[in-house]
Amino acid sequence: MYERILVPLDGSIMAENVLPFVEGISKRLGSEVILVSVFPEDKKVLDRPLRAYIEKRVSELQALGVKASGMVVYGEDPAEEILALSEKINAGLIALSAYGRSGTKWRLGGVPSKILQGTRIPLLLTRTFSFDEAMRQREFKKILVPLDGSKAAEDILPYVEEFLKGSDSEILLLHVLESLRIPPYVESIIEATMEPEERENWKEQKEKERLEEAQGYLKEVADRLRERGLKVKETVKMGDIAELILSIASEEKCDLLAISSHGKQSGVTRWLFGDVAFKIIEGAMIPLFILPKRKGLLFAEYH
């Protein structure tokens, strides 16, 4: 699944902070690492030093025991060139730093953002500010996997399992329940037919039922993963989706946040395309593993 990992570099130190993560993944999974730098056509006059830069990074990885190669590509749209190359070489993963020459601010429309929106294969997006920090964080000991209750969102599970092969990592499954939303016309009926205390009891009962249903669902998923030999814990929370995901990731000291870009209309589906996505991408201080929406990714053995 991850036989080849494509790693875009733009020549900056910030972009190179992804390399310790890639080294660890490659050694654990036996993956080949392909480094690529994309520059505008007018930079061809600098072809020799640009290729020397990539060759040096390749040599450094090879010295660490990583099977690596590299290339320089010329084109006006780095994201499009990277996406096209990922398909051409049949890469199983694109790994890149969220930060590069443009600095530390995530820019909607920037190269990482465009790759995120256009990739058809899993993406590992790292968030470290220094090489030393990357070295400390490169072992994914605890992975947070939010699920919205849909089978589509569960597509990420086999990818996470494969990604963790050879490690002793723990998976933390999280299901976030938003507050019960009652349509205005239903609220009117309830007010007309129930006393205030009865209404409150009814709402509390509904919230309890939703919580129990969510706990049962998540336990079922966790048990299936445990049967496959994985270390799994599960938790259900109620509140704001993005805020809870970020806070749980911090409180539980998770090393990786794995999300699927498709699920329920009211849940994970919105992450990559709306306010929730922006909050997660802006707010996450740990690497993100993102599975894009793509046909043919259902794994029956997990469902």
Looking at residues 135-155, what average pLDDT do you find? 85
Q: What pLDDT score was predicted for residue 222? A: 97
pLDDT band at 131, cuts 50/70/90?
Answer: low
Q: Is the pLDDT confidence value at 271 over 60?
A: no
- Between 58 and 181, residue with greater pLDDT: 58
- Between 111 and 136, residue with greater pLDDT: 111
Find, among 64, 77, 58, 54, the residue nearest to 28 by Cα. 64
Q: Is the pLDDT confidence value at 41 over 80?
A: yes
Q: What pLDDT score was predicted for residue 272? A: 40
Give the DSSP per-residue string, 173-238: EEEEEPPP---HHHHHHHHHHS-HHHHHHHHHHHHHHHHHHHHHHHHHHHHHHHHTT-EEEEEEEE
Contact yes or no for 126/96 (Cβ under 8 A):
yes
Looking at residues 108-137, what average pLDDT do you find? 80
Contact yes or no for 256/143 (Cβ under 8 A):
yes
CATH number of 4-177+212-302: 3.40.50.12370
pLDDT band at 197, cuts 50/70/90?
Answer: confident
Q: What pLDDT score was predicted for residue 302? A: 43
Angle at which helix 196-227 crosses helix 156-163, to 10 degrees, equals 50
| Contacts for 184 with CB less than 8 Å, ≥ 6 apart | none
Phi, psi of 164 (to 5 degrees): -95, 5
d(C-alpha 23, C-alpha 64), whole Å: 8
* Cα-to-chain-centroid distance, residue 100: 19
**Least confident span in 123-132, 166-175, 236-245, 264-273:** 264-273
Spans of all domains in the chain: 4-177+212-302
Average pLDDT, the chain: 84
Q: Is the pLDDT confidence value at 260 over 70?
A: yes
Looking at residues 140-151, what average pLDDT do you find? 90
Q: What pLDDT score was predicted for residue 116? A: 85
Dump pLDDT digits (tens) for 207-239.
788 889 999 999 999 999 999 999 999 999 988
Find, among 264, 256, 258, the residue nearest to 290 by Cα. 258
**b/e 174-208 (16+ beta carbons within 10 angstroms → b):** bbbbeeeeeeeeeeeeeeeeeeeeeeeeeeeeeee
pLDDT band at 275, cuts 50/70/90?
Answer: low
pLDDT band at 270, cuts 50/70/90?
Answer: very low
Dump pLDDT digits (tens) for 1-15.
999 999 999 988 889
Q: What pLDDT score was predicted for residue 265? A: 47
Dump pLDDT digits (tens) for 74-103.
998 999 999 999 999 999 999 999 876 655
Q: How many C-alpha atoms does 183 have within 13 Å on its Cβ side?
A: 3
